[in-house]
Structure 1
Amino acid sequence: QLHERVPSWLAQAHRRIGDEAPGAPAGTTTGRINDRFFEAHPTPAGAGDIVWWLVDDTDRRLAEMALSDARTRSEVLSEASSALLSTLNVPRCMEMAAAMAAEHLAEAAVLVAPAQGKRYPVTSARKGGPVTQTTQKVNVAEVPGLGEALQGFPPVPARWINPADIPGWLVPEDFAGPVGSVIVTPLPGHGVPAGALILLRSSTEQAFTEGEEVFARLFA
Structure 2
Amino acid sequence: MTGSPSDLEQRVAACRDRLSSVPGGARSPDGWLFARLVAAREVRGERALLGLSPSELAGLAARHFATNALTVPSHESVALLDEKQAAFAAAMRDFLIGLAASETHAEDARCLATILAHACLRPDHLWRDLGLSGRDDVTQMLTRFFPEVVARNTQNLRWKKLLARELALSRGDVPGPAPGCPGCEDFGFCFPDRKHAN
TM value normalised by structure 2:
0.29
Larger Rg: 1
Which fold has the larger relative contact order, with Cα–Cα distance below 8 Å and residues 6 or more apart in sequence?
A: 2
Of Structure 1 and Structure 2, which has the larger fraction of its residues in strand?
Answer: 1
